[in-house]
A and B are shown apart, each in its own frame.
Chain A
Amino acid sequence: MKTTTNDSWLYTISSKRKLIDFNFKEIWRYRDLLLLFVKRDIVTVYKQTILGPLWYLIQPLFTSIIFTLVFNNLGNIQTGGIDPFLFNLAGITAWNYFRECLNKTSSTFTSNKAIFGKVYFPRVIMPLSITISNLLKFVIQLIIFLVFLCYFWYQGMDISFNPKLFLFPVYVIMMALLGLGLGMIISSMTTKYRDLTILVGFAVQLLMYVSAVPYPVSEAKAKFPEKVAILVEYNPLTQIIEGFRFMLLNTGTFTWFGFIYTFVLSIVLFLIGLVIFNRTEKSFIDTV
Chain B
Amino acid sequence: MIISDIILKAENISKQYRLGVVGTGTISHDLNRWWHRIRGKEDPFLKVGAINDRSATVKSDYVWALNDIDFEVQRGEVLGIIGKNGAGKSTLLKILSRVTSPTTGEIKTKGRIASLLEVGTGFHPELTGRENIYLNGAILGMTKSEIKTKEQEIIDFSGCQMYVDTPVKRYSSGMRVRLAFAVAAFLEPDILVIDEVLAVGDAEFQKKAIGKMQDISKGDGRTVLFVSHNMAAVQDLCTRVVILEHGELTFNGDVSKGINNYLSKNSLSLGYKDFDNIDNETSSFSRFEMLNNQNELTPSFVSGEKIKFKTLINVCKTIRNPVFSLRISDLNNVNIVTWRSNDYIEEPLPKNQNRDFEISLTTNNLYLLNGVYTVSIGMADGIEMLEAKIKFIEFEVHPSKPNQQFHTITKEKSTNSLIYTIADWDVN
Contacts and interface: CB of A to CB of B under 8 A. Distances in A.
Interface stretch (A6-14, A72-80, A176-184, A227-235): A6-14
B38 to A, nearest CB: 13
A118 B117 contact: yes
A37 B126 CA distance: 13
B139 A2 contact: no
Interface string A257-287: 0000000000000000000000000110111
B82 interface: no
Interface stretch (B1-9, B208-216, B355-363): B1-9
Contact of B135 (A13, A40, A48): A40
A119 B102 contact: no
A118 B115 contact: yes
Contact of A2 (B4, B17, B110): B4
Contact of A14 (B94, B102, B144): B102
B139 A121 contact: yes
Interface in A1-53: 1-4, 8-16, 29-30, 32-33, 35-37, 40, 43-44, 47-48
B106 interface: yes
A17 B22 CA distance: 23
B138 A32 contact: yes
Contacts of B99: 116-120, 285
A235 to B, nearest CB: 29
Contact of B103 (A9, A13, A15): A15
A14 B121 contact: no
B122 A119 contact: yes
A14 B107 contact: yes
B126 A9 contact: no
Contact of A36 (B2, B105, B126, B138): B138
Contact of A4 (B6, B97, B124, B134): B6
Contacts of A11: 108-109
Contacts of B95: 13
B97 A119 contact: yes
Contacts of A8: 110
Given A115-B139, A119-B121, A13 B134 contact: no
A114 interface: yes
Contacts of B118: 118
B127 A9 contact: no
A224 interface: no
Interface in A142-194: 192-193
Contacts of A30: 138, 141
A35 B143 CA distance: 11
Contacts of B126: 43-44, 47-48
Closest 7 pairs (CB-CB, A-B): A14-B106, A120-B98, A33-B138, A13-B107, A282-B101, A32-B144, A9-B108
19 contacts: A4-B6, A11-B109, A13-B108, A14-B105, A15-B101, A15-B103, A15-B104, A16-B106, A29-B143, A32-B144, A35-B144, A36-B134, A40-B131, A43-B127, A44-B124, A115-B139, A120-B98, A120-B115, A192-B22
Given A15-B104, A118-B117, 15 more contacts: A2-B2, A13-B98, A13-B102, A15-B102, A32-B144, A36-B138, A40-B131, A40-B135, A115-B121, A115-B139, A118-B99, A118-B118, A282-B100, A285-B99, A286-B17
Interface of A: 1-4, 8-16, 29-30, 32-33, 35-37, 40, 43-44, 47-48, 114-121, 192-193, 282-283, 285-287
